């Protein structure tokens, strides 16, 4: 048999007509598949652009609370610290927002001793948080024994509202809400006291030289849940 066997040989056979028909059928099937790929598969690609997968993104919210108190001397500043480790937040929970209330009364026991000046401030560093959030309250002060509340939003863009997202995959949307960088580090609250003494406090034993400051903190936490929306 010569080099040009195969097809040519088949064509020389008695049933050359059948061989040619078979060859034609192969070619036609090939072309048909190409056409199928081009029109159907491409069309699916185009349709997919308009039927991208959708995901319901919701949040399970929880919170941790605690309190502390500090006796701060006249003219002094003490620091209260808060971090994921300190509050023992579970690693699956993200920090949404931190609220710290600062309360005090006049505790000297001296008659007619007025409330002291108390200043609370949270320097925008130490913890990775959304320091530029418009609803943050990073400092407050008063001298009337009223309670002050400072607020730090931690996880950027988090509102707690459920949303529907489109495209990518479930992991992509989970990653968006499980970034533990937000809330890492240590938040510091600095509290300063400037006492105001009772009239006639020059008398021995009638001096006001400190104040007891009570801190109550609440850390709002969340855990994301992503569910594919059935098509
Ligand atoms: Ca006082
Ligand atoms: Ca005092």
- 1 within domain boundaries: no
If pLDDT is split at 50, 70 and 90, which confidence band does 92 have?
very high
Mean pLDDT score, 134-163: 98
Assigned token pair, 128: 């990775």
Domains held by the chain: number:
2
Contact 112, 221 (CB under 8 A): no
* Ligand nearest to the backbone CA of 107: 2
* Ligand nearest to the backbone CA of 71: 2
Are residue 25 and residue 121 in the same domain, yes or no?
no
Are residue 100 and residue 13 in the same domain, yes or no?
no
- 120 within domain boundaries: yes
Are residue 11 and residue 61 in the same domain, yes or no?
no
Are residue 71 and residue 24 in the same domain, yes or no?
no
Place of tokens 């699956």: 92
- Residue 215 CA to ligand 2 center (angstroms) comes to 16
- Residue 209 CA to ligand 1 center (angstroms) comes to 8
**pLDDT more than 90, % of the chain:** 71
Task: Indicate whether 152 pLDDT > 90.
Answer: yes
In angstroms, rounded to a whole number, what is the distance separating the alpha carbons of residues 197 and 205?
Answer: 11
Mean pLDDT score, 192-198: 95
Are residue 75 and residue 23 in the same domain, yes or no?
no
- Residue 185 CA to ligand 1 center (angstroms) comes to 35
Task: Indicate whether 4 pLDDT > 60.
Answer: no
Place of tokens 């001298």: 143
- Residue 211 CA to ligand 1 center (angstroms) comes to 8
Mean pLDDT score, 40-67: 82
Q: How far is CA 31 from CA 21, 24, 28, 51, 150, in A?
A: 15, 10, 5, 29, 71
If pLDDT is split at 50, 70 and 90, which confidence band does 213 have?
very high
- Residue 142 CA to ligand 2 center (angstroms) comes to 13
Mean pLDDT score, 24-30: 67
Are residue 132 and residue 207 in the same domain, yes or no?
yes
- Residue 111 CA to ligand 1 center (angstroms) comes to 10
In angstroms, rounded to a whole number, what is the distance separating the alpha carbons of residues 74 and 197?
Answer: 10
**pLDDT more than 70, % of the chain:** 76
CA count, 13 A, side-chain hemisphere, 160: 12
* Ligand nearest to the backbone CA of 201: 1
pLDDT of residue 2: 47
SS3 assignment, position 90: coil
Are residue 22 and residue 82 in the same domain, yes or no?
no
Contact 204, 89 (CB under 8 A): no
Q: How far is CA 177 from CA 127, 159, 163, in A?
A: 18, 12, 12
Are residue 110 and residue 200 in the same domain, yes or no?
yes
Are residue 93 and residue 25 in the same domain, yes or no?
no
- Residue 186 CA to ligand 2 center (angstroms) comes to 29
Are residue 37 and residue 59 in the same domain, yes or no?
no
- Residue 106 CA to ligand 1 center (angstroms) comes to 6
For the chain, the residue count is 231
Q: Please list, in sequence order, all residues whose beta carbon lies within 8 angstroms of the beta carbon of residue 138, skipping any fewer than 6 positions away.
A: 121, 122, 123, 124, 150, 152
Are residue 104 and residue 163 in the same domain, yes or no?
yes
Name the maximum alpha-carbon separation found in the chain: 133
* Sheet with strand 117-121: strands edge to edge: 77-82, 187-194, 117-121, 139-142
More confident residue, 231 or 43: 231
Domain that holds residue 36: 6-50
- What integer best gives the mean pLDDT of the chain? 87
- 27 within domain boundaries: yes
């Amino acid at each position: 048999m010569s080099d040009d066997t195969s097809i040519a040989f088949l064509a020389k056979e008695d049933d050359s007509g059948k061989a040619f028909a078979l060859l034609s059928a192969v070619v036609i099937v090939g072309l048909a598949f190409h056409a199928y790929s081009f029109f159907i598969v491409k069309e699916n690609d185009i349709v997919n652009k308009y039927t991208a997968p959708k995901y319901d993104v919701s949040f399970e919210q929880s919170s941790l609370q605690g309190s502390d108190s500090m006796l701060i001397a006249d003219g002094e500043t003490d620091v209260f610290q808060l971090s994921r480790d300190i509050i023992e937040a579970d690693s699956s929970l993200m920090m949404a927002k931190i609220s710290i209330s600062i309360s005090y009364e006049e505790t000297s026991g001296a008659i007619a001793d007025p409330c002291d000046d108390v200043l609370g401030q949270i320097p925008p560093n130490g913890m990775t948080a959304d320091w530029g959030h418009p609803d943050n309250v990073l400092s407050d002060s008063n001298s009337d024994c009223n309670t002050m509340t400072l607020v730090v939003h931690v996880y950027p863009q988090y509102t707690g509202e459920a949303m529907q997202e489109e495209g990518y995959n479930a992991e992509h949307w989970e990653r968006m809400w499980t970034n533990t960088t937000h809330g890492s580090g240590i938040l510091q609250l600095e509290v300063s006291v400037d006492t105001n003494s009772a009239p006639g406090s020059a008398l021995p034993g009638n001096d006001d030289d400190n104040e007891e400051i009570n801190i109550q903190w609440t850390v709002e936490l969340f855990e994301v849940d992503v569910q594919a929306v059935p098509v």
